[in-house]
Structure 1
Amino acid sequence: MKRLTTFMNRWRKERAGSTTVETTTETVETVPESPRNNRNRTVAMVVGIILLTLATLLGIAYTPGVRETRVVRAIRFWEPTPPPEPAVPAGQLAVEMEQARAENPSGTVMIDPAAAEALGLQTFVVEARSFDQAVRTTGRVTVDERRVTQVHTRVDGWIEQTFGNFEGQQIRQGQPLFTIYSPELVASQQEYLIALRARGDFVKSEFDVVRRSGTTLVEASRRRLQLFDVTPAQIKELERTGKLSRTVTFYAPASGVVTQRAAFPGTRITSETQLYTLADLSTVWIEADMFESDLPNIRPGTSAEVTLQNGETLAARVSNINPFVVPETRTARARLEVANPGMRFKPGMFLNVSLRAVAPPQVIVPRDAVLATGTRNLVLVDDGEGRFTLRQIVVGNQGQEFYTVQSGVIVGERVARNIQFLIESEAPLRQAVEGQQQQQEGAPATPGGAHGGMQGMPGMPGMK
């Protein structure tokens, strides 16, 4: 009995985890178990559980009834994945493609009105339109060659005094430019005075021929002075005083800025000497360089816009296009004529020029109506009664809203807009595009089927 009581106390102590066990009869002191033994026991239990689990999974992995299912194949991860079985037998896709082409050789995609309304289908009428294209270039201010005056004398002599004294000086028409001593002018003045005195003597003659000869002699002498650029006021002064002048003052024949000067006091001159060059800058030219590719769209009368250095813009027009191309730059010069109040434009100044080139009418389609596949550009042409055909086009210039079309569609045809959205929304269209690409690459195309109220075909044979 004592042994039984001792055993029971030990068993209770192990259950309660206490170091002493109290009974109604006596207390027995026990020795606690080593922590190392507890850890070893725990490790053994975990290893046993893992081995049992692996054995169970391996048994399931090779069970004949379920070993080919997806989950069980995932357990046997070390085995290579078998190739997928083909969805259709080999060659069936090609057969279906040929059947689809035979049923619909035009490659038409059908879109019923309900599907078109649900998709928000919009069409655009192909048209020919002229576009204003801005040609931006630089221009250089030059003088208007029609307003350039070169000053010469018609007699030989020596410059006595000058009034146009430097280049850039503003000269007004009629303003004194220089004085000249010329023996030829002195002799002409003397002849005129003699003719005046002779006329007074001849007028007293009783013969009409003599009286008229005096007047004729005066007119001839006056005409000679006028041809030498002696002004009427100077001739009247000569008549009034009756005294010849050693020097004669020459006046500016036109207004302008002195751009060249060769007249200096004491200089001997001839009729060939270019004394001054005057440029009227009230109107100037702006010569803009244009590339050869821009020449067909620029013509006289084309509007332009000139931007000054301070940001101010002025309107101008092309007045002439130089027919010669500069070999070094392969550019031609367009001439703009602009008014120059306040001398804002100075010769030699560089400006920004924007020419509004008007191209000839070109066939256009919206940008969202063109599908770029990387090798071709396609549009969906509305053939009427819900029939649409995918057609290849050749595009030209690209604008912000439109493409110019070189071939593929003609004016008056309708093309669908937002074609990318339509293709992403409708499987037949997507399959039709894929068929186009596969035909381009020489691969068989997948036939399309009906979807969303549409009946379509994959390949589009007979594309232009």
Structure 2
Amino acid sequence: MTSFRNNRLGIAIGALALLGIGIGAGVFLGRQGGQDDPSAASPGERRVLYYYDPMYPDRKFDKPGQSPFMNMALVAKYADEGGPAAAAGVRIDPALTQNLGVRFAVAQMGTLGGDLAATAVVDFNQRDVALVQARADGFVQRVYNRAPGDVIAAGAPLADILIPSWGGAQGEYLAVRRTGEASLIQAARQRLILLGMSDPLITSVEQSGRPRTMITVTSPIGGAIRTLSVRSGMTVTQGMTLAEVSGLSTVWLNAAIPEARAGQVRIGQGVEVRLSAFPSERFTGLLTALLPEVSGDSRTLTGRVEMPNRGGRLRPGMYGQIVFGGGAGPALLVPSEAVIRTGTRDVVMLALAEGRYQPAQVRVGRESGGQTEILAGLAAGERIIASGQFLIDSEASLSGVEARPIEGAPVSQTAMAPMGASQ
């Protein structure tokens, strides 16, 4: 009997020992499972979906630790960030934004300078050009020591040309004049004009009473000799170009206007000119034309400014700068660095309440002095990210946050208290 009781007691003690072992193992396994599951959380704690590297937000990890890419701590992605049930935008841990050096700005009304400066080069006025041509076949007897680049006055001699064919026609004209027949005289004189003789030459023949076959070719205008094709002893033919002379009374300035700023200038607009050759002087001119072609390399439009050249001091090839005066007016301004230009649209990153951020599509205007004009998509007083917005924009894209359309932007200043321009 005693042996039977001892056996039953031993069995009971063994069963209790096995039960204790099972309970301990269950608790241990439960703890281990809770540590391996990143989504497990005790009541009152936020549930972690995954961990990620802020520099590579598309790479996800199931455990916290160091990033294999940038050797920085992984950041937790919580279940209550983003999603249809969450508030607008994506939530970023304030500590992370501080570590990333994110700076903020406020869209505010201001004045954007209307002046537009463009580089310019002095050029000849291509409308003030004279071509000197031979009016008949002849022989060059003398040249007057001219060369391309020389600046000459109007009426300056270029060459003496012997034209034998004119001698007979002039002799006939003098013979007809002696008859006294007015109609015949007029017809003979008209013939000389058709042969290419000038009125001063015909008058000289009339006064001297002798034919003139040696003709001095002169420049009809004053300016610079661009080309000179006449040399002593050469034979010239009718219509041959002997010289090309460009006037210097006025010059052109060809200004390289950026394509994006072409809408700010207009024909007839007055400009101020600063030339490197005369740094202490200011010249004025008039915009006379905008050439229809845009340079493919520099994406600039050529603006033609015409200005007087008093004293002939402005020489083609001189370098300068043109300032187009424009009306500076009020505009909604943001830092230019805050605008994300994707090529298809322009976006800024809104800084909402409770550490949330949302991209907003905007339409930009002029840009000057590091400030960009916002034409639509943003209201005065809205807080945006001025620096570091690319990383947050990537996070918003991964979270499926849609950009606020231009039509959905508020039209009045938001109720959010304005902050400093930078933080």
Flag the 1:379–1:318 CA change in 2: closer, same or farther, 3 A.
farther
2-structure distance, mates of 1:144, 1:358: 26
For residue 176 of structure 2, what is the aligned residue in structure 1? 195
More strand by share: 2
Question: How big is the shift at 1:317?
Answer: 3.3
SS for the counterpart of 1:198 is: coil
Offset of residue 191 of structure 1: 1.6
Match of 1:343 among 312, 320, 323: 312
Q: 2: distance between equivalents of 1:325 and 1:226?
A: 47
Structure 1 residues 315-326: aligned runs within 5 Å: 315-326=284-295
- 1:176 aligned residue (148, 152, 157): 157
Partner SS for 2:191: helix
Question: Counterpart of 1:264 in 2: which secondary structure?
Answer: coil
Tell me the CA shift for residue 193 of structure 1: 0.5
Alignment partner, residue 241 of structure 1: 208
Amino acid corresponding to residue 234 of structure 2 in structure 1: T
Aligned residues between the structures: 296
**Following TM superposition, by how much is the alpha carbon of 1:327 offset from its aligned partner in structure 2, in angstroms?**
4.4
User: Identity over aligned residues, as a percent?
Assistant: 21
Query: Who wins on radius of gyration, i.e. which is larger?
Result: 1
Select the residue among 138, 155, 161 that pairs with 1:157: 138
Structure with greater helix share of residues: 1
SS of structure 1 residue aligned to 2:256: strand
Change in CA separation of 1:195 and 1:408 when aligned onto 2, cut-off 3 Å: same
Aligned pairs for 1:18-167 (under 5 A) are 89-90=44-45, 131-137=113-119, 139-163=120-144, 165-167=146-148
Change in Cα spacing, 1:237 to 1:377, as seen in structure 2 (3 Å) is same
Relative to structure 1, is the Cα distance of residues 328 and 408 closer, same or farther in structure 2, using a 3 angstrom cutoff?
closer
Q: Secondary structure at the match of 1:238?
A: helix
How far off its partner does 1:295 sit? Answer: 3.5
Aligned to 2:374: 405
Alpha-carbon offset, residue 261 of structure 1: 0.9
Q: Say which of 370, 381, 393 aligns to 1:415.
A: 381
Could you say what secondary structure the match of 1:311 adopts? strand
Q: Which residue of 1 aligns with 2:220?
A: 253
Q: Which runs of 5+ in 1 are unaligned?
A: 1-85, 106-122, 200-213, 381-389, 421-435, 444-454, 458-464
| Residue 188 (structure 1) shift | 1.9
With over 3 angstroms needed to count, the CA separation of the structure-2 counterparts of 1:404 and 1:160, relative to structure 1, is same
Structure 1's 288 and 400: CA in aligned 2 closer, same or farther, altered over 3 A?
closer
Distance 1:371-1:131 versus aligned 2 partners, 3 A rule: closer
Tell me, in whole angstroms, the C-alpha distance in 1 between the residues paired with 2:126 and 2:223. 12
- Residue by residue over 1:240-280, the C-alpha shift from the partner in whole angstroms, topping out at 9 and shown as x without a partner, is 33222231233332222222111222221112211111111
Quick check: 169-178 or 352-361, which moved more? Answer: 352-361
TM-score of the superposed pair, with normalisation by structure 1: 0.50
Code of the aligned partner of 2:321: V
What SS does the aligned partner of 2:130 have?
A: strand
Q: Unaligned 5+ residue runs, structure 2? A: 1-40, 48-77, 89-105, 341-346, 386-392, 401-414, 418-423
Aligned counterparts of 1:440 and 1:236: Cα–Cα separation in 2: 89
Tell me how far apart the structure 2 counterparts of residues 263 and 439 of structure 1 sit (CA, whole Å).
Answer: 76
Counterpart of 2:22? none
TM-score (ref. length: structure 2): 0.55
Q: Distance in 2 between matches of 1:124 and 1:274?
A: 65
Structure 2 CA distance for partners of 1:220 and 1:250, relative to 1, 3 Å: farther
* 2:332 aligned with 1:364: yes
Contact 2:264 2:326 in 1 (8 A): yes
Distance 1:405 1:182, change over 3 A: same
Q: What SS does structure 1 have at the residue aligned with 2:232?
A: coil
Q: 1:371 touches 1:379 (CA, 8 Å); kept in 2? A: no
**Aligned-partner Cα distance in 1 for 2:157–2:348:** 75
| Correspondence for 2:260 | 293
1:89, distance to aligned residue in structure 2 (A): 3.1
Q: Deviations over 1:301-353 (max 9, x none)?
A: 34353322342442333322222234455544222212222222222x24132
CA shift for structure 1 position 146:
0.8
The answer to whether the aligner puts 1:219 opposite 2:174 as a matched pair is no
**Alpha-carbon contact 1:172-1:255 (below 8 Å) kept:** yes
Tell me what 2:274 maps to.
306
Structure 1 residues 189 and 226, CA gap change in structure 2 (3 angstroms):
same
What residue number does 2:5 align with?
Answer: none
Find the partner of 2:167 among 169, 177, 186. Answer: 186
